[in-house]
Structure 1
Amino acid sequence: MSAPTPHHAPPRTERAGLLGVVVRVLMAVVLGGAVGLIGTVAHRTQWADLPGGLVLALLLTVSAAMMCRAWSGLSTLLAAGAGWLVVVQLLATTGPGGDVLVPADLTGYVWTYGGLVLFAVAAFLPSRWFSDQVAPERGTDPAPHPARHHE
């Protein structure tokens, strides 16, 4: 026999669900911070006078944002965005020797504000794009209507 659970304790499945959400949010913060770190270091790289590092850093950012949105919804997307923002802003400050990883020039502005815009775009995309539900085909009835059943 198992001991009865107190009335104030949530059921085990509810606690496990909450723990899962907390773990996913923490992992998203770490992912966003890692993407912000990698992107900040790489965004100034150029290949043949083209801003290849900036393009790749922004692609990595939008990929992480979309993955977090698809993975667990807006909570992980916002957590990843927060991790990204904190790391990018910390690395944009002047270092101990006076160096700056994100100077106040066009590339730095595109990296800083462009990344934020990409997180916002991912937040406002239609939720059906991130759903595993199969959409009904156009012109078909999504569910049978009880009133239409005739034998």
Structure 2
Amino acid sequence: MQRLSAGAIGSAVAALLLGVLVGALGTVLHRSIPPWGIIVCLTLAFVAAVTVRAWTGYAALAGYALGLVVTVQLLTQRGPGGDTLAPDQQAVGWVWVLGSIAVTVVAALLPRALFDDRPRAPRTPAVDPPS
């Protein structure tokens, strides 16, 4: 478990800001070039989540997820003129809202061994017993 230090808090805040940035970009651009816009935006959300987890672990990933989800939820609300960036009638809006959460959960569930930088011990070849 990661200790709560100034560096850990700073990393979580930086990850939160990254989540806000990815959430804003994805919400604005997910309908840009169908179907490539949603594919690129979900890929961006996944790569950012994996990067944050590899960077400092679960504490920063929680900050990233908070920034992403809150930003997406705020930007998908109806504006004062009745317009929205993710209309309810279009499936691509739901794919972005639910997909951004899903790719973040997938990044959290990836095996810890993928993010371990320690070198592994060399394997010794299996020796067949003499016959």
How would you bin the TM-score normalised by the shorter chain? 0.7 to 0.9
Q: Secondary structure at the match of 1:85?
A: helix
**Partner amino acid, structure 2, of 1:113:** L
Rg (Cα) greater in structure:
1
User: How many residues in Structure 1 have an aligned counterpart in Structure 2?
Assistant: 123
User: Does residue 72 of structure 2 align to residue 88 of structure 1?
Assistant: yes
Structure 1: gaps of 5 or more residues: 1-13, 141-151
**Partner amino acid, structure 1, of 2:65:** G
The CA RMSD measured in Å over matched residues stands at 1.8
Report the TM-score, using the length of structure 1 for normalisation. Answer: 0.76
User: Does residue 85 of structure 2 align to residue 98 of structure 1?
Assistant: no
**Partner amino acid, structure 1, of 2:17:** V
Q: Could you say which structure has the greater relative contact order, defined with CA pairs below 8 angstroms and 6 or more residues apart?
A: 2
CA shift digits 1:8-32 (9 cap, x unpaired)? xxxxxx8xx7000110000000000
Matches of 1:136 and 1:106, distance apart in 2: 49
Q: Which runs of 4+ in 1 moved over 6 A?
A: none
Q: Secondary structure at the match of 1:30?
A: helix
Q: Secondary structure at the match of 1:135?
A: coil
Which of 5, 8, 14 matches 1:27?
Answer: 14
Cα–Cα, structure 1 residues 138 and 102, in superposed 2: closer, same or farther, change >3 Å?
farther
Deviation at 1:116, TM superposition (A): 0.4
Matches of 1:66 and 1:138, distance apart in 2: 28
Matches of 1:27 and 1:84, distance apart in 2: 12
Matches of 1:73 and 1:99, distance apart in 2: 38
Aligned partner of 2:112 in structure 1 is: 127
